[in-house]
Amino acid sequence: MIEPRLEALEMRKKSMNRAHWIKNTHLFEKDDYECSACGCKVARPTDRCPGCGAEMTGRQRGGHDWTEDAAFMEIITGGM
């Protein structure tokens, strides 16, 4: 009876050690990538997160969009 519980615990540990990069694009700055597990930000995506050591899966999703920055700048400048 104990073995299935240990197996489930090992599967949970494996899934906790995986994450993906969230690409944050910016209008006036270089893009950066954020770890979905710990929030560590890096300039380029790598196979593992330097912050938490999570293995990165192949999927990537976009985060902050530069159009939000552009809209904010339009509000500040009055639409110039």
Q: Where are the domains of the chain?
A: 18-77
* Beta carbons within 8 Å of 33's beta carbon, 6+ residues apart: 21, 22, 23, 24, 41, 42, 43, 44, 45, 60
Q: Does pLDDT of 21 surpass 80?
A: yes
- Which pLDDT band holds residue 16 (cuts at 50, 70, 90)? low
pLDDT for the residue numbered 66: 62
Q: What average pLDDT does the segment 30-39 reach?
A: 91
Q: What is the pLDDT of residues 41-71, one digit of tens each?
A: 999 999 999 999 999 987 666 655 666 667 7
Bridge partners of residue 61, in order along the sequence: 22
Residues whose CB falls within 8 Å of the CB of residue 31, separated by 6 or more in sequence, listed in order: 23, 24, 25
**Residue scoring higher pLDDT (18 or 80):** 18
